[in-house]
């Protein structure tokens, strides 16, 4: 609903603004991803992680980060590992994913800072 009605947003986490601005620009600034459909998700995740390619399981399949790699490299990695690939498509981040990414990054930074101060 927010994406359909708002042009600008602010993302708050633990009382702090972690991002704000035009919604379209914030969504476009995220890491490009691919949505991969395969019946062998476990094998696909292992193959991608073995090749240092970020991936996570989502409702529709596997969401693969393209930071430091390309779509053809991802598909090639899966094919070489014997993973059947049914579909691959670029995935545009939605507001929910942007929020999760921003707040997870903030939490990870907090943990590193807390451990560093010990």
pLDDT of residue 111: 39
Over the chain (118 residues), what is each successive 10-residue block's mean pLDDT?
Answer: 86 87 81 91 96 90 90 96 95 78 63 45
Please report which helix (H) or strand (E) contains residue 49, including its range. Answer: helix 41-50
14-to-17, 44, 79, 101, 116 alpha-carbon distances in Å: 9, 35, 42, 15, 20
pTM for the whole structure: 0.60
Rounding to the nearest 10 degrees, give the CA dihedral for residues 110, 114, 116, 118: 180
pLDDT of residue 106: 58
pLDDT of residue 14: 87
Residue 61: burial class (beta carbons within 10 Å; 0-12, 13-18, 19+): buried
């Amino acid at each position: 609903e927010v994406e359909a009605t708002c042009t600008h947003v602010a993302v708050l986490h633990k009382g702090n603004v972690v991002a704000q601005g035009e919604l379209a620009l914030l969504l476009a600034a995220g890491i490009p991803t691919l949505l991969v459909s395969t019946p062998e998700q476990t094998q696909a995740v292992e193959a991608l992680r073995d090749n240092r390619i970020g991936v996570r399981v989502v409702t529709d399949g596997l969401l693969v980060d393209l930071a430091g790699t390309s779509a053809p490299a991802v598909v090639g990695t899966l094919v070489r590992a014997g993973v059947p690939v049914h579909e691959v498509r670029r995935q545009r981040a939605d507001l929910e994913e942007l929020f999760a990414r921003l707040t997870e990054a903030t939490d990870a930074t907090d943990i590193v800072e807390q451990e560093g101060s010990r």
